[in-house]
Structure 1
Amino acid sequence: MPKKELGPPCGSKCRLKCSERITQEEREHIFDEYWQMGDLTRQRDFISKCITVIKPKYQYKVHNSNRGPKHAFSFEINDCKRRICKFFFKNTLSINNRPIATVIAKKNERGFVEEEKRGKHGKQNKLSSDTIQRIRDHIDSIPRIESHYLRQQTTCEYIDGGKNLTDLYTDYQKDCMDSGVEPAKIHTYRKVFNEEYNISFYVPKKDQCELCTIFKTLQMIKLWSKTITSLLVMTFRQCCLSLKATFLHYKCKLNVCNFTITELSNDYCDYFVWSEVEALRRANEIATCVLKYLTKRATEVNDNNLQIVFYSDNCCGQQKNQFMFCMYVYTITVLKIKSITHKYLITGHTQNENDSVHSVIEKAVKKCLRSGPIYTPDQYVAIIRTARKKGNAYKVKEMCHSDFIDIKNLTEACGGGFSKNTQGETFEKHEGSDQVNIYYKTSYTDADFKEIQFYKLFNRSSRTRPNTNLQNYQLKPLYQSRLQLSERKKKDLKSSLDNNVIPQSYALSYYNNILH
């Protein structure tokens, strides 16, 4: 609603000459006092006091006319009533004809205005606490995931699947009918969903930042890689098995994790895939995938001139941490790699070539779902291998729990504490030699790298750090066996098997091994 403002007075042609009877200052004072009442009943009483019925000496009425009596308007100033026209009256109070007509209609024979009866009839339909709680229980039963790129900035959760709020309300109605309970109206369901929960139906694919308008005016510079330099982008992604049964929207599904490394100059992509029973999605798992890629890449060169440049987002729990940098130090020490540079894309501009890879795979998955559901992770692997129709096919590495390395143990063996300087700044570049030097900068606008000197890794000795020779260090496995699923997820997967939503043949070949 727009703010109430004092209207203009009547013109010089007014028969009552209202502007001469009441000054502008007096009008402003009346306007302020009227709206400061803050009570509808008091405002109506004030309008009623300002209106009087006119009884003309002579009156001529048209036959069968319903025209009511005439009214005069006035303001009382210093115990003196000053008559004014209706236009002047309405503009001074900043009202229209409706409040005046209401007061006239509600005024009784004794001159009192009837009280406001809205909301006092006692027939309001009040929802019981059980009805509201049933709506909450239904919303809580929907599996949700957090935002991967924005979880440090927002607590919003996302519902996986193609449903909207109307679909959820339809499922809620069916649930109430099965239980013999009267469902609430959709506007009540929507109110609880929007006001008590921070849930969205889609994950934003592109982020924005305040530098976007600046970048649009700049000339883009293309980076060309040398023969001994490998420019790569890395991205982590999580999906779940896709089934078509409606009730499965409220059941937990088996998650499948994948980590992608794309070489920008060679049209090559390594795709690491594992399910949640094989490993989690933390720094150890991501660093293991990068280590396997670097190991393979180092075997393809004959000299020690390989320079690696990584681009990624700013996820601290996965690739922007001391464990990843310790793995880089280890890699430079034991492999034929001269340097590793890790650059973090500016927030709001983390889109990269891996997004195109994921888009191609998502289209292939949607096409596959037209012919039937996806029951097991190996079906995803088959889709990924054949998703790309032009260029090099994606190289898929199926990761088992025994493939993952305990990078955190390696960090402890190196002594740790080198991923941040005394001001808590993180590093962006690592170079290896007999004495490892770590170079870093916290902004792309900085001209030079700052340096942190790391301890010698070849038979070094220090009172404050362990004596470790990284060339002879034996990497330790991260897991000894498969991981256990949560009890709720086990229950939901068993329910899908018992209802034959997942065929029994898959139970014998895959699910019996992970549900026990």
Structure 2
Amino acid sequence: MQTVQPRYRYIRLGGVRKPRDNNHAFYFIQNGEKIRVCKAFFKNTLDINDRPIRTVIEKQNNVAGVLLATDKRGKHGQQKKVEEDIKKGIYDFIEAIPKIASHYCRANTSKLYIDGGKTIADIHKDYEDHCKMNDKPFGNYAMFYKISFFMPKKDLCEICHVYETANETEKQELKEDFEKHQEEKRLSRTEKENDKSKTDPDVLIAVYDLQAVVQLPKGNVSLFYYKCKLNVLNFTIHDIINKTTDCYVWDESNGNRGVNELGSCVLNYLKEACEAGKTEIVFYSDNCLYLYAVTTLNINKITHKYLIKGHTQNEGDAVHSLIERQVKRQERSGPLYTPESFGPPFKVHELTHENFYDVKGIYSTLGCVNLAAMKINDVKILEVRKESPNTVFFKKSYNDQEFQNIDIIKRKRVNRELQLKPAFTAKPGISEKKKSDLMELVSKKHIPSFYKPFFENL
């Protein structure tokens, strides 16, 4: 909107007439060009009436053409403030809720999350009951609702997201990388479909992934929500051809979710595959460790095909979804107290700290020196072969026809009698706070006494 001064004025004969008021011209900007429109068109396009236009004119400096009056909303100085003890009580109550680490982007986030099993209304009701029980003042739901809760989102492909939200100029700069990324995604899926059509009985094709942490006990008992719970981990390996799934389950008192634990699960699976007569293995996932396997087991070749970042959907996701649905169904019948409550339908391997090997120690034992030279983030297909135990073969694109190779072990010959050492000399256990909370649930009979020995031995 722009002020337009009249070019002339009418003079009444025999009298005095006040100067004409300024007029206003209305514009829209299209492709950097100002296009003048009539007032009716301007109002209808913005779906406004005369009031916003009058307000702008009244607050406008006729000389400088800028708004002088500041926004006075919320500046009356009579706001009703929340008492500090109530505010502190709200934060203390929320801070006392046990936190869990995010399953997604766990390598580059420091955020902690609370279990999403309760709504804000449910938590406020528990907070109100807690304050009444302790004869403390409490805030209403509106005060409580202002506390921000972060719900972890599903993984997004960073490359696709950046391209989709870019403007036209930025898209031209990103186009080459985006199209290459899309081509790798298409080729990756085509590669998997080709592998699924193979019928060689000596070849095993599988995908593996770690399920999001399950916390126990789990149920509709309000007290469960505000006590530290036991983290249970489930590493699943799904045979794409035979449609069978192996679940390697352990709780946090026996191990974490690091290289030693996950590598031990893969190694145990490979040992069973070797006993079943499999001589070639193809894995789909986003990490791998196979040098020890081809060196010590009767497996000729292991190929690992990396899922494209941001597009890692696979058959393992369906397994995890089925488990989560079954857990929710079981909760309707009553709480779940221990990992045994899950039941079939998959082949379950219950692991303890004695089942985990010091997989990271293999790195120093083998004397790997050239891993950095391979730039593992650029690798799409990686292969290790029994005939060349010192060499890793790889492709940087699914479109590559031939493998590149690099010698990564400094020794001329790898010792075939490599001995894996235990990852733990004793059971890691859990924190005193967590054990105290769990035993309190047992002592108050929220967890049946039948399960007392399990929790006592954590």
TM-score by length of 2: 0.75
Q: Any conservation in 1 of the 2:255–2:428 contact (CA below 8 Å)?
A: yes
Q: How does 1:41-60 map to 2 (within 5 A)?
A: none
Matched residue, 1:6 = 2
Matched residue, 2:331 = 369
Deviation at 1:358, TM superposition (A): 1.4
Matched residue, 1:513 = 457
Deviations 1:157-193 (A, max 9, x none): 4432421222222222223323333323433333332
Structure 1 counterpart of 2:301, from 321, 339, 361: 339
Structure 2 counterpart of 1:478, from 423, 429, 433: 423
For residue 374 of structure 1, give the secondary structure of its aligned residue in structure 2. Answer: coil
For residue 287 of structure 1, give the secondary structure of its aligned residue in structure 2. Answer: helix
- What letter matches 1:405 in structure 2? Y
Question: Take 2:230 and 2:389, find their aligned partners in 1: how far apart are those partners?
Answer: 46
Q: 1:294 to 1:94 in 2, by over 3 A?
A: same
Q: 1:178 to 1:434 in 2, by over 3 A?
A: same
Matched residue, 2:64 = none
- What letter matches 2:365 in structure 1? A
**Does residue 442 of structure 2 align to residue 497 of structure 1?**
yes
Question: Take 1:122 and 1:135, find their aligned partners in 2: how far apart are those partners?
Answer: 25
- What letter matches 1:204 in structure 2? K
Q: Any conservation in 2 of the 1:435–1:456 contact (CA below 8 Å)?
A: no
Question: Take 1:310 and 1:118, find their aligned partners in 2: how far apart are those partners?
Answer: 61
**Does residue 316 of structure 2 align to residue 354 of structure 1?**
yes
Q: Any conservation in 2 of the 1:206–1:351 contact (CA below 8 Å)?
A: no
For residue 19 of structure 1, give the secondary structure of its aligned residue in structure 2. Answer: coil
**Does residue 286 of structure 2 align to residue 296 of structure 1?**
no
Which segments of 5 or more consecutive residues in structure 1 lack a partner in the other structure?
Answer: 10-17, 23-56, 58-71, 75-81, 103-114, 314-318, 388-393, 461-467
Matched residue, 2:432 = 487
Q: How does 1:218-229 map to 2 (within 5 A)?
A: 221=190, 222-223=193-194, 224-227=197-200, 228-229=202-203
Q: Any conservation in 2 of the 1:426–1:440 contact (CA below 8 Å)?
A: no
Q: Any conservation in 2 of the 1:420–1:426 contact (CA below 8 Å)?
A: no
- What letter matches 1:240 in structure 2? Q
Structure 2 counterpart of 1:189, from 140, 144, 148: 144
Q: 1:474 to 1:422 in 2, by over 3 A?
A: closer
Q: 1:101 to 1:410 in 2, by over 3 A?
A: closer
Q: 1:292 to 1:128 in 2, by over 3 A?
A: same
Greater CA drift, 420-429 or 130-139: 420-429
**Does residue 17 of structure 2 align to residue 84 of structure 1?**
no
Which segments of 5 or more consecutive residues in structure 2 lack a partner in the other structure?
Answer: 10-14, 27-38, 40-49, 60-69, 161-177
Structure 1 counterpart of 2:398, from 431, 444, 448: 444
Question: Take 2:268 and 2:205, find their aligned partners in 1: how far apart are those partners?
Answer: 17
Matched residue, 1:19 = 6
Structure 2 counterpart of 1:412, from 364, 369, 373: 364
Deviation at 1:501, TM superposition (A): 0.7
Matched residue, 1:159 = 114
Q: 1:97 to 1:485 in 2, by over 3 A?
A: same
Q: How does 1:388-403 map to 2 (within 5 A)?
A: 394-403=346-355
Aligned length: 393
Deviation at 1:424, TM superposition (A): 6.8
Q: Any conservation in 1 of the 2:368–2:409 contact (CA below 8 Å)?
A: no
- What letter matches 2:122 in structure 1? D
Question: Take 1:284 and 1:481, find their aligned partners in 2: how far apart are those partners?
Answer: 15
CA RMSD of aligned residues (A): 3.7
- What letter matches 2:318 in structure 1? S
Percent identical among aligned pairs is 33
Deviations 1:236-290 (A, max 9, x none): 1221121321122121111111111111111221111111111111000111011
Matched residue, 2:36 = none
Deviation at 1:457, TM superposition (A): 6.3
Q: 1:278 to 1:503 in 2, by over 3 A?
A: same
Q: Answer with 1 or 2: which has the greater Rg.
A: 1
Q: Any conservation in 2 of the 1:233–1:262 contact (CA below 8 Å)?
A: yes
Q: Any conservation in 2 of the 1:425–1:442 contact (CA below 8 Å)?
A: no
TM-score by length of 1: 0.67
Q: Any conservation in 2 of the 1:340–1:429 contact (CA below 8 Å)?
A: yes
Deviation at 1:506, TM superposition (A): 1.2
Deviations 1:347-393 (A, max 9, x none): 2211111111112222222222211111112223xx2x2x3xxxxxx
Structure 1 counterpart of 2:129, from 169, 174, 179: 174
Matched residue, 2:244 = 268
Structure 2 counterpart of 1:236, from 210, 219, 227: 210
Deviations 1:188-227 (A, max 9, x none): 3333325xxxx21x55277685169957996963212241
Deviation at 1:444, TM superposition (A): 3.1
Question: Take 2:182 and 2:8, find their aligned partners in 1: how far apart are those partners?
Answer: 60
Q: Any conservation in 2 of the 1:260–1:354 contact (CA below 8 Å)?
A: yes
Question: Take 1:119 and 1:262, find their aligned partners in 2: how far apart are those partners?
Answer: 58
Question: Take 1:352 and 1:424, find their aligned partners in 2: how far apart are those partners?
Answer: 21
Q: Any conservation in 1 of the 2:208–2:285 contact (CA below 8 Å)?
A: yes
Q: 1:100 to 1:338 in 2, by over 3 A?
A: closer
Structure 2 counterpart of 1:308, from 275, 278, 281: 281
Question: Take 2:185 and 2:428, find their aligned partners in 1: how far apart are those partners?
Answer: 51
Q: 1:435 to 1:374 in 2, by over 3 A?
A: closer
Question: Take 1:363 and 1:121, find their aligned partners in 2: how far apart are those partners?
Answer: 52
Matched residue, 1:378 = 340
Q: Any conservation in 2 of the 1:435–1:457 contact (CA below 8 Å)?
A: no
Q: 1:193 to 1:209 in 2, by over 3 A?
A: same
Question: Take 1:182 and 1:496, find their aligned partners in 2: how far apart are those partners?
Answer: 27
Deviation at 1:232, TM superposition (A): 0.8
Matched residue, 1:283 = 259
For residue 260 of structure 1, give the secondary structure of its aligned residue in structure 2. Answer: strand
Q: 1:511 to 1:98 in 2, by over 3 A?
A: same
Q: Any conservation in 2 of the 1:257–1:274 contact (CA below 8 Å)?
A: yes
Question: Take 1:438 and 1:101, find their aligned partners in 2: how far apart are those partners?
Answer: 75
